[in-house]
Each structure stands twice: as C-alpha cells, then as structure tokens.
Amino acid sequence: MSIEPAFLPGLCSVTFRSIDAEQVIALAVEAGARGIEWCSTVHVPPGHLATAMRIAAQCRDAGLDLPSYGTYVRAGADDEQQDMGAALDTAAALGAPNVRVWAGRQGSGVAGEADRARVADAIRAYAALAAASGITLSIEYHRATLTDTLTSTLDLLRRIDHPNCYAYWQPEPGTPLESAAAELRALGSDLSHLHVFHWQAGGARRPLEEAEAYWRRLVRVPGRDSRFALPRYAFSEFVRNDDPDQFRRDFKVLVRLLDPRIAERGDD
C-alpha cells in the first residue's frame, strides 16, 4: 500500500520572478512538482481575475494543483496597498484554497502593544473573510514581522484566536537543527505549509543537497496529524542564482526528502 507523504512537493512561483507563468509551469511539471504557490507580485496580481483563471486552466491541463495564493498583504500596515478582498477574489479565480498574508511590517523587537493588537485584529478579520469564501488563511513566518520568532508567532496566534488562521514555517538562515525542530513542534496543529531553501546565516544561497540531512529531519517533525485539513506542501523557494538548473537539482533533493519510503528507513 502506498503511503502519502506528510508534505507534497511544490514550487513557489516567486522563485522565478523573471520568467513568465508558462515557463514556471513547464519547470514545475518537468521537476515533478505536485502544485504551485502563485505569487501576487509578479505572476498573478490581485484583481487580475482573467490572468488567474487562465493560469488556473493551464495548471489543471498540466496536472498541477494550486494549493495557495502567496500574497504580500501586510496585516495592520498603515500603507497597505493590496486589498484583502481583491486577494480573496483572485484566490477564488485561481481555485486556490489558501491565502498567505504577512504579519505587519515591524519585527517583534520593535512592535509595541498597539501594533500587535492592530495586526492581530486585522488578521482575525481576514480569517473570517476568507472562511466565508471557503478559503483558509496562513501567516508567513518571516523576519521583520510579528512572526520573526516562535514566541512572537505563538503570541500572535493566541491573540488572533480564529479557527481559520494557520501559520507557514521556514527557518531563519543559520538556525541550528534542534532549534528549528523545536519551532515546528511548538507550532503543532497550527502549521499549514513549509517554504524550503538552504541559505547560510549571511544570506548566501546554497544547493539544497548540502542541507539534505537537516531538512529530512524537519519534514518528519510535524507528522500527518494537523487541524489543517488540506494537503500540506513543502514549497521549493529561492534557489541559488535564481537558476532553473539549480532548481532542477534542488527539487530532486526535495522529492527524495519527502518520499515516505525513505523517511521510513530513517536514513540521514
């Protein structure tokens, strides 16, 4: 009997800002991706519903899922430029069941109580709007936002307190393995998708194969039990030099990492 992996292999289209959607789809199919997270800054801008429907049809024809719409909506930001309503309309046109948003524009070290409350209130409202459209909401896990540390992320999720709100996860470059695994365990059932890459602490991008043992341990930590009812993805993101050939090599590693037959053997 075949075993479905805890995470499916996917691609973030933002990895290839300089190529068009058709080329992204071709790369994803060639590499063996199961789905694409389309970004809102390049390939599928908010409110461009015809573009979203065209790309959705191309993905369906290619056998690709559309598990998430990766927006840059900044919850609670005074100068927010991307309307959540347009983002949800675009996700619906894509057929994407999840929308990614960001937890403001300030890191946890500088945000005050009023800032935290404003971001939490905005995300709670977003989660309710998304739920009304049958779409889940996930918060990007990222530096210079209120999800820049595990403690701040857990505090934000507690403040939001909405069943339709989840969190992505990705490591801060240079995070030791045990610390990264502890973050994933702590997020627990709130975890939706992963962004997978290998960057050094200074920001230099490296081949994923150099971190294969690191990531093999991490993709096992969350297990298959989650309140997130949709298929969860490990999305390849930001390869070295934005090089399609590097992506092809990295994605072979990602598929190998997620293969449950390899996971069962316990190879590191």
What does DSSP assign to residue 227? S
Q: What share of the chain is helix, strand, coil (3-state, %, to 5)?
A: 45, 15, 35
Share of the chain above pLDDT 90, in %: 88
- pLDDT at residue 265 is higher than 70: no
Q: Which CATH superfamily is domain 8-265 in?
A: Divalent-metal-dependent TIM barrel enzymes (3.20.20.150)
Give the residue-averaged pLDDT of 220-245: 94
Per the CB < 8 A criterion, the answer to whether 255 and 249 are in contact is no
Distance CA 250, CA 242 (A): 12
Question: Does residue 264 have a pLDDT over 50?
Answer: no
Give the side-chain half-sphere CA count within 13 A for 106.
17
pLDDT tier for residue 263 given thresholds of 50, 70 and 90: very low
- Residue range 59-70, pLDDT digits in tens: 999 999 999 999
- 248 has a pLDDT exceeding 60: yes
Q: State residue 267's pLDDT score.
A: 44
The model's confidence at residue 185, banded by pLDDT at 50, 70 and 90, is very high
Tens-digit pLDDT profile for residues 88-146: 999 999 999 999 999 999 999 999 999 999 999 999 999 999 999 999 999 999 999 99
Confidence of residue 261 (pLDDT cuts 50, 70, 90): low
Closest of 148, 162, 154 to residue 107, by C-alpha: 148
What is the C-alpha to C-alpha distance for residues 238 and 11, in angstroms, rounded to an integer? 10
Q: In the chain, what are the domain boundaries?
A: 8-265
